[in-house]
Amino acid sequence: MYKLDLPIDLKEAAAIERRRNMELERQNRIFNAKVRTIGVDVQAVKEQVHDRKLQEERENHRHEAFANDMIRNDKIAELLTRRKEQDVRNLNKALNEFRSLNQQPDARREWDLNDPEARKKDKPARVSDDDPRCGISGVQKFDGEDLNSKARKKLMEEQMREWTRRQAEEKRLQEARQKEADRLYDLHRREADERAMELAKAEEECRRAINESMKDYNNSLSAEQAEKARLAKQQELDDNFTEIINHVNGDVLTENPDVAESAFGPHRVITDRWKGMSPEQLEEIRRIQELQRQEKKRIQEDEAERDKEWERQRLFDARNSLLMEREQDRIKKGLEKEQVESNIRLGSEQKSNLDYMDKEVYTNRPTAAYFQQWNTTSR
């Protein structure tokens, strides 16, 4: 006996459902004529193009931001470099001043060895019997004979106090100098900041002054050009008036016939100086014009006669073409009538043929179920 209540395998059922969905998607892709012909997801391509443009715009903005940061950092680095150089110069200057004031050669510890005036300043070999420089070899003072011990101790104590006082004074001076150096450094730093602000302000004022001067220069240049144009126009008017006066008083308007004679022969004249022809010349021109009018009248009569002949020929051709069109219409109507009769005969023959095919030949016509079995799977 078969067991029909077995539990359903969910994994196998999911695999079957996945394959069934994949088959449906494949059928939609294959049976969709538009997708099968194009073969490209237009919407996805458009989204990719849009995303690419957005990415390029973000990259451009990012590069511009980096470029602006680089320019700003370069300016800050340049300003800090200048400030550092100024501080180094100030410190070197202060160090040189300190050396020139407090580190003279005569204040050095080994100056007594390098002093060129040492011989002049040196004491004689013996000053008195209590001279401490007298040694054993001089047989002037023996070991154990400390005759000036009290004075020597007092002198040593005073010397120690003096050294202690000098050390304390030097330490105090050093601390004061350090404080003064720190104060000068702060002052120099503030001065550098103020100078940078003043330079920026001066640069802005200089730019504004340059713009104002450029504006004034342009205005003066425009006024100069306008003045030049006015002078040129005035010069042109003066030249025109001079030319008019010269023409009025010249030989052309005074109608001097001698000025029109040409140097190339008596039958030629200078056109810009010639004032007219003689009565004989005018009579000859009128006679030639009359001959030309008669010749033109004869040509016009010939052209009118030729136009009449062409008009008669045109009417004759039009009448012949009208007769030919009527004959063609009669022939066309006869052909159309024959065509209609032939179409009626062919229609009746096709109808009888279709009736024969439907009733005698195609007796087992396929139903809709026969055509629905095709294209049901993508394999």
pLDDT digits (tens, 9 = 90+) for 247-291: 766 655 655 666 666 667 666 776 766 666 777 878 888 899 999
- Domain contains 23: yes
Domain count, the chain: 3
- Domain contains 222: yes
Across residues 296-320, what is the average pLDDT? 89
Backbone angles phi, psi at 261, to 5 degrees: -75, 130
Question: 154: buried, middle or exposed (CB in 10 Å: 19+, 13-18, 0-12)?
Answer: exposed
Q: Would you state the pLDDT for residue 217?
A: 82
Amino acid at site 15: A
- Domain contains 171: yes
Domain that holds residue 183: 166-227
- Domain contains 25: yes
Q: How far apart are CA 314 and CA 321, in angstroms?
A: 10
Nearby residues of 114 by Cβ (< 8 Å), 6 or more positions away: 105, 108
- Domain contains 273: yes
Q: Mean of the per-residue pLDDT values for the chain? A: 81
Contact 307, 300 (CB under 8 A): no
- Domain contains 78: no
* pLDDT band, very low/low/confident/very high, at 2 (cuts 50, 70, 90): very low
Which pLDDT tens digit goes with each residue over 49-108?
Answer: 999 999 999 999 999 999 998 999 999 999 999 999 999 999 999 999 988 888 787 777
Domain identity same for 182 and 217: yes
- Domain contains 312: no
Domain identity same for 223 and 172: yes
Q: Is pLDDT at 7 greater than 70 in this prediction?
A: no
- Domain contains 207: yes
Q: Would you state the pLDDT for residue 299?
A: 92
pTM for this entry:
0.23
